Amino acid sequence: MSESYRWVSRPGNIREDRRFVTGRGRYVADITPPGTLHVGLVTSPYAHARITGVDASEALALDGVVAVLTGAELAKDTDPLRQYLAVPEVQWRPLAVEETRYAGEWVAAVVAESRAVAEDGAELVSVDYEPLEAVLDPEVAAAPDAPLVHPAHGTNVMAHREFRWGEVDAAFEQAAGTSRVRCRWNRNSTVPIETFGVVASWDRTRDLLDVWASIQMPQFPDQLAHALRIPTNQVRVHFDVDVGGSYGVKRGIKHGVLTGYLSRMLGVPVKLIEDRTENMHGGDFHGPDRIFDVELAYTADGVFTGIRIDVIDDEGAYPGRSPLQLAKPIGAIVGPYRIGGVAYNATAVVTNKTGQVAVRGFGQSPTNYAIEAAVDAAARDLGVDRLELRRRNFIQPEEFPYRIPSGTEYDSGDYPAVLDKAEALADLAALEARRDEIRASGRLAGIGVATCLEPGGGNAIFENVMNPSNDKTTFPEGCRLRVDADGQVTAVIGISSAGQSHDTMVSTLVGEELGRDPRTIAVIRADSLTGMPSQSPVGSRMTIVLGQAIRGAADELKAKVAAIGAHNLGVSPDEVGYDGGEVFVRTDPDRRLGWREIAVIAHRKQHRMPPGIQPGLEVVHVAHTPRSGTLAAPDGTVQLYPCYSFEAHLVLAVIDPGTGRVELDRYFIAHDCGTVINPDVVRGMVYGGTAHGIGVALYEQFAFSPDGQPLTTSFMDYLLPSAHEVPDIADAEHCTPSPFTSLGQKGAGEAGYMGAPAAVAGAVNDALAARGAPPIHALPIKPSDVWSALRATEEQGEK
């Protein structure tokens, strides 16, 4: 590392942890204002049905039930929830109106004195349905004669974009060979341990809706106000609420609109805490559900020249923001490889399933999986070692910044060095020897490899890529720094956190910038009306964009401190230096003024203030996302995210041939996110994201029956990895600083998850290949899939 820091990059001192280990976190379920009523939900038992009648009389007769609200009643006074595509006929509402479009969709809400009574009441609401034909398969849904999820829209295809960048036709025409894979990334999600919850409280004397929510979402306050048809300055979302995990999905806009409406209607606080089944099937919190067809073209030497990626994504019934997840991967569409020509055809369709939402990486991890599956296929077809083939095609360290065909410039990286680190960490020769020993013992074993990117510093330019009529380019973060008359520093941010240790990150960065001990810096969350513009912690962006805001605020604060110091030292501001809060005369460093004294002057001694300087020591800086501000060109080329972290995975999988069960024996990652703010936090992200990716690769799927009934409604059938399934993971960090951020940092919040699904699948396929079985290209790889693949191979052998 070229820079040396006083506090940045040092381990430990994670200030949030003490609060959480003592159970003193404050989650939304812990917030119950006096007089709060609770919501129970009536949900659709059909994947697609017409609502012909709702009878709430029995529910209303139950002791403790206060009100029942139907979709038709709610729709009269509210607007539909935001769609990001230009699809005005697709109306997404908190409670279904006239038709339900997936099993589990909310149909009516019961409000009662307790959550238990509200649930009792929900069971007593009688709804008449007339079942309609449902469509579950995305490829069937895309066909012209398919049953329509939203008949008024005229098609189930919500978006279709075809992009071609670089010499893609020539690449395929002149290729010595191509490798092609069809991969299935089945429907899963992040499924946080805390379900979504919200408390809304309307104050009719002040015309103010107070909202406490388990939220991680850009523009949540604005969207609430718009749907409720009230001015945006009448919604105050409190961000000092701990979020019990999110990883992208905590976007309960419909929950917020429903409770906000009920609170206004009833004049009391209203609380909605999802139960687990509601969270898994009623919250519209599913993730990408994709079918890829990928073809990679290369020369006789195995040099990649072109890639074609066709993808169809099943958005579920209400597309919302989810189709934009097809556009973000455009910014890393060639992975870490030098590939000159790209064709990318992306289609978003709706089906009668739960709606989709943003999930960790916003579509990047599925695309990384598809690219890596094609690279592994090429290695098999060419008979070249998988690591060697990757090394042969890596963008080289001296080529940065490197512009990929789709217009994005990767900021920095050293992919060969990071892969070398992974290989050394794993002791690859020893790992291969272990694999071979296991094979010799009769079990199957395989090593998986993945090398891929994590775009960081999220902006929203994918909105413009998928919907050119949307010309949004601004996606800022802000920080307020205030120094009181005692010299104590407070940093104010306008976001909630879901485990990212933002208090630690902000205090460390503010401390480093100001030269003040981070332990003395308070970090406070403003609410949405008193805070600064913020887009929330999405897209691995906070150290980058909030880091930029902190740099800007610190620079402004230091300039003010220097001006006051210079004035009192009798010199001009350009004659002084700043050192840990003290201001000194550069030519005579013993002449100096202390931090505390400057703070007192700023707050209390107008007679010692330089003219034209405001009293107090308070600054607000709002920063743009680095490298943003440009719309996409008509061909879709655009600078997507500013920073590109890199990770290399090596994993050894062992398979029991009798049961098909996969066990991960060893797991190694080398990871480069530039300058690390806190190594313990970054390692935690890497491990956690990897575990999440292991779940995707081997266990997690929202499954449906052929008529659209959800088959995975609890943690007994939707399987999250436990300590039994996640092996020890060894992580080696590498640092290639970004030239575009305050201290060289890049994103880390989606690390591990970017490559783990590809690496684990690769390990299983390496094990299968050794037995002559074909690769499996659908996630999750279930024991039955492995067993079937082996069985088919055995039968083949017997013939």
Partner 1 sequence: MGSRHEISLVVNGEERRGTAPARTSLADFLRDTLGLTGTHLGCEQGVCGACTVLLDGAPVRSCIVLAVQAEEREVTTIEGVGGPDALSPVQEAFCETHALQCGYCTSGMVLAAQALLDADPDPSREAIDEALGGNICRCTGYVQIRAAVERAARTLAEEAVPHE
Compute the distance between CA of residue 37 and CA of residue 783 in angstroms, rounded to an integer: 46
* Shortest distance in whole angstroms from residue 724 CB to partner 1: 5
Site membership for partner 1, residue 715 (CB under 8 A): yes
- Residue 14 Cβ, how far from partner 1 at the closest point, in Å? 5
Nearer Cβ to partner 1 (378/493): 493
In the bound state with partner 1, the residue whose beta carbon lies nearer, of 90 and 697, is 697
Please, what is the minimum distance in Å from the beta carbon of residue 322 to partner 1? Answer: 20
Task: Work out which of 5, 27, 129, 578 binds partner 1, going by CB under 8 A.
Answer: 27
- Distance in Å, CB of 454 to partner 1, minimum: 16
Reduce the secondary structure of 339-405 to three states and give it as a string: CCEEEEEEEEECCCCCCECCCCCCCHHHHHHHHHHHHHHHHHHHCCCHHHHHHHHECCHHHCCEECC
- CB within 8 A of 462, min separation 6: which ones? 324, 325, 327, 328, 330, 362, 640
Angle at 697 between CA 674 and CA 289, to 5 degrees: 95
- Which two structure tokens, joined as six digits, stand for 600? 């007192």
Give the SS3 label for residue 794. Answer: helix
Taking CB under 8 A as the criterion, the residue among 64, 397, 577, 657 binding partner 1 is 64
Beta strands 49-55 and 99-100, pairing class: antiparallel
Interface stretch with partner 1, choices 434-442, 447-455, 566-574, 685-693 (CB under 8 A): 685-693
Q: Which stretch binds partner 1 (CB under 8 A): 92-100, 184-192, 583-591, 599-607?
A: 184-192
Q: Is 23 in the site for partner 1 (CB under 8 A)?
A: yes
Binding of partner 1 at residue 661 (CB under 8 A)? no
> Exposed/middle/buried for 79, CB within 10 Å: 0-12, 13-18, 19+?
middle
Q: Whole-number minimum distance, CB 550 to partner 1, in Å?
A: 21
Whether the Cβ atoms of residue 340 and residue 401 lie closer than 8 Å to each other: no
Among 45, 80, 245, 657, binds partner 1 (CB under 8 A): 245
129 binds partner 1 per the rule CB under 8 A: no
Q: Is 194 in the site for partner 1 (CB under 8 A)?
A: yes
16 binds partner 1 (CB under 8 A): yes
d(CA 532, CA 526): 8
740-769: contacts with partner 1 (CB under 8 A)? 752
**Cα–Cα distance for residue pair 355/283, rounded to 1 Å:** 8
Q: Is 421 a binder of partner 1 (CB under 8 A)?
A: no
Query: Distance between CA atoms of 12 and 122, rounded to whole angstroms?
Result: 48
User: Token pair of 630, please?
Assistant: 């440009």
CA atoms within 13 A on the CB side of 757: 33
Residue from 405, 499, 565, 674 touching partner 1 (CB under 8 A): that is: 499
Note whether 244 binds partner 1 by CB under 8 A.
Answer: yes
The CA distance from 696 to 365, in Å, is 10
Q: Does 34 bind partner 1 (CB under 8 A)?
A: no
Q: Does 663 bind partner 1 (CB under 8 A)?
A: no
Given the complex with partner 1, which of 121 and 340 has the nearer CB atom?
121
Amino acid present at 533: P
- Nearest Cα neighbor of 47 from 121, 122, 108, 103 is 103
Q: Please, what is the minimum distance in Å from the beta carbon of residue 194 to partner 1?
A: 5
Shortest Cβ 62–partner 1 spacing (Å):
9
Three-state SS letters, 135-193 = CCCHHHHHCCCCCCCCHHHCCCEEEEEEEEEECHHHHHHCCCEEEEEEEEECCCCCCCC
Any contact of residue 191 with partner 1 (CB under 8 A)?
A: yes
Q: Which of 5, 6, 29, 522 binds partner 1 (CB under 8 A)?
A: 29
Q: How far is the CB of 238 from partner 1 (least distance, A)?
A: 17
Q: Identify whether the C-beta of residue 640 lies closer than 8 Å to the C-beta of residue 330.
A: yes
Distance CA 793, CA 772 (A): 7
Q: For strand 522-525 and strand 576-579, is the pairing parallel, antiparallel, or unpaired?
A: unpaired
Q: Name the minimum Å distance from CB 457 to partner 1.
A: 21
498 lies in the binding site for partner 1 (CB under 8 A) = yes
Binding status of residue 416 toward partner 1 by CB under 8 A: no
Tell me how many residues contact partner 1 (CB under 8 A). Answer: 60
Shortest Å distance, C-beta 152 to partner 1: 38
Q: Which of 74, 122, 127, 243 binds partner 1 (CB under 8 A)?
A: 243
Nearer to partner 1 among residue 623 and residue 751 (C-beta): 751
List residues binding partner 1 (CB under 8 A): 12, 14, 16-25, 27, 29-30, 63-64, 116-117, 120, 190-195, 242-247, 275-276, 498-501, 680-681, 683-685, 687-692, 714-716, 720, 722-724, 726, 728-729, 752
